Structure 1
Amino acid sequence: MGKVACVMVVMEYLKISGQLLNAKIKGGGVNKCHIMQPSHLRFTIHGLWPANKSSSSSLNCMGDAFNVNEMDDALKKDLLSSWWDWKDGNHVEFWQREYDKHGKCSDNVFPKSKYFRKTLATYRDFDIAQILQKANIVPQPLQPKMSLYKLYSIDQITKAIESETGGHSVNIRCYQQEQKKSKKSKKGSNLLIFLAQVALCYDESGNNRIDCDPGQTTSCKFNGGDPETAPSIAHIKLW
Structure 2
Amino acid sequence: MKSLTLLVLTHIFLLAFASSAQGYAYDFFYFVQQWPGSYCDTSSGCCYPTYGKPPSDFGIHGLWPNYNNGSYPANCDPNNPFAISQIQDLVSSLQTNWPSLSCPSSDSSSFWQHEWDKHGTCSETVLNQHGYFQAALNLKSKTGLLSCLKSAGISPNGGSYTLTNVKAAIKTCIGHTPYVECNKDASSRYQLYQVYTCVDHSGTTLIDCPVFPTSGACPTSFIFPSF
TM-score class, shorter? 0.7 to 0.9
Q: Which amino acid aligns with 2:191?
A: F
Give the CA deviation at 1:110. Answer: 0.4
Q: Which amino acid aligns with 2:102?
A: K
* 1:197 paired to 2:187: no
Q: Supply the distance in 2 between the matched residues of 1:217 and 1:105 (Cα, whole angstroms).
A: 22
* 1:68 paired to 2:58: no
* 1:160 paired to 2:180: no
Q: Supply the distance in 2 between the matched residues of 1:207 and 1:92 (Cα, whole angstroms).
A: 23
SS in 2 for 1:99: helix
* Cα contact 2:36–2:58 (8 A) shared by 1: yes
In the superposition, relative to structure 1, how do residues 112 and 178 fare at CA in structure 2: closer, same or farther (>3 Å)? closer
Give the CA deviation at 1:102. Answer: 0.4
TM score, norm. by length of structure 2: 0.76
Give the CA deviation at 1:23. Answer: 7.3
Q: Which amino acid aligns with 1:125?
A: K
* 1:15 paired to 2:30: yes
In the superposition, relative to structure 1, how do residues 124 and 93 fare at CA in structure 2: closer, same or farther (>3 Å)? same
| Aligned twin of 2:64 | 49
Aligned length: 196
| Aligned twin of 1:114 | 131
Provide, for residues 52-85 of structure 1, a one-character-per-residue CA deviation record: whole Å limited to 9, x for no partner: 102243222125111112333x221221121100
Give the CA deviation at 1:233. Answer: 1.0
TM score, norm. by length of structure 1: 0.73
Identify unmatched segments of 5+ residues in structure 2: 1-18, 49-54
In the superposition, relative to structure 1, how do residues 30 and 204 fare at CA in structure 2: closer, same or farther (>3 Å)? same
SS in 2 for 1:132: helix
Give the CA deviation at 1:41. Answer: 4.0
Give the number of the structure whose residues are more often helix, by fraction.
2
Q: For 2:113, which of 96, 102, 126 is the aligned residue? A: 96
* Cα contact 1:194–1:236 (8 A) shared by 2: no
In the superposition, relative to structure 1, how do residues 169 and 23 fare at CA in structure 2: closer, same or farther (>3 Å)? closer
Give the CA deviation at 1:215. Answer: 3.4
After TM superposition, list the pairs within 5 Å mapping 1:77-226 onto structure 2: 77-88=92-103, 89-90=105-106, 91-141=108-158, 150-166=159-175, 168-177=176-185, 179=187, 191-213=188-210, 215-216=212-213, 218-222=215-219
In the superposition, relative to structure 1, how do residues 81 and 58 fare at CA in structure 2: closer, same or farther (>3 Å)? same
SS in 2 for 1:216: coil
Give the CA deviation at 1:219. Answer: 2.0
In the superposition, relative to structure 1, how do residues 94 and 18 fare at CA in structure 2: closer, same or farther (>3 Å)? same
In the superposition, relative to structure 1, how do residues 23 and 171 fare at CA in structure 2: closer, same or farther (>3 Å)? closer
Q: Supply the distance in 1 between the matched residues of 2:132 and 2:172 (Cα, whole angstroms).
A: 28
| Aligned twin of 1:235 | 225
Q: Supply the distance in 1 between the matched residues of 2:124 and 2:173 (Cα, whole angstroms).
A: 30
* Cα contact 2:163–2:218 (8 A) shared by 1: no
Provide, for residues 176-229 of structure 1, a one-character-per-residue CA deviation record: whole Å limited to 9, x for no partner: 2473xxxxxxxxxxx51100111211110122211125631632344xxxxxxx
Q: Supply the distance in 2 between the matched residues of 1:115 and 1:32 (Cα, whole angstroms).
A: 26
SS in 2 for 1:95: helix
In the superposition, relative to structure 1, how do residues 32 and 83 fare at CA in structure 2: closer, same or farther (>3 Å)? closer
SS in 2 for 1:71: helix
SS in 1 for 2:173: coil
